[in-house]
A = this chain, B = another copy of it.
Amino acid sequence: MAASRLSDAQIATKIASLPDWKYLAPAEDHDGQLDAQFVFRTFVEAFAFMTAIAIEAEKRNHHPEWSNVYNRVSVTLTTHDSGGVTELDIDLAARAGELAKSFR
C-alpha cells in the first residue's frame, strides 16, 4: 500500500523544521518533491554522507534521486507511487539533515 500523499499545507508545516529542504509544488514535468543541496568540506565528507544516506534509504526501501559533483550533493525526494510527497520523504529528509549537520 502506498503512503498517503501529503497536502501542500501539511508539507509546509513539516519542512518548517528542516532548514536544508525546500518543497517544489507539482509542475508539468514533476510531482511535488523535496529538494536539498548539501555542501561539505571535501569530496570525502560528501561521499561519506552519501553512504550514510544510501544505508538509510535502503533500510526504508525508499530511495533518493541524487547527484554529486565534488563536495556538493543534490537530493530530490518524492514518492512516485503516491504521486507526491509523503511521510517517507519527510522522514528521510529529516535524517539527511541530521547526518549532514554532523558531517559538515
Contact indicator B66/A55 (Cβ below 8 Å): no
Contact indicator A44/B58 (Cβ below 8 Å): yes
29 inter-chain pairs at a CB distance below 8 angstroms, sorted by A residue, are: A43-B54, A43-B57, A43-B63, A44-B52, A44-B55, A44-B56, A44-B99, A45-B52, A45-B99, A45-B102, A47-B55, A47-B58, A48-B51, A48-B99, A48-B103, A50-B50, A50-B54, A51-B54, A54-B55, A55-B55, A55-B58, A56-B58, A58-B59, A64-B68, A65-B69, A66-B67, A66-B68, A67-B68, A102-B102
Contact indicator B65/A67 (Cβ below 8 Å): yes
Which B residues lie within 8 Å of A58 (CB)? 43-44, 47, 55-56, 58-59
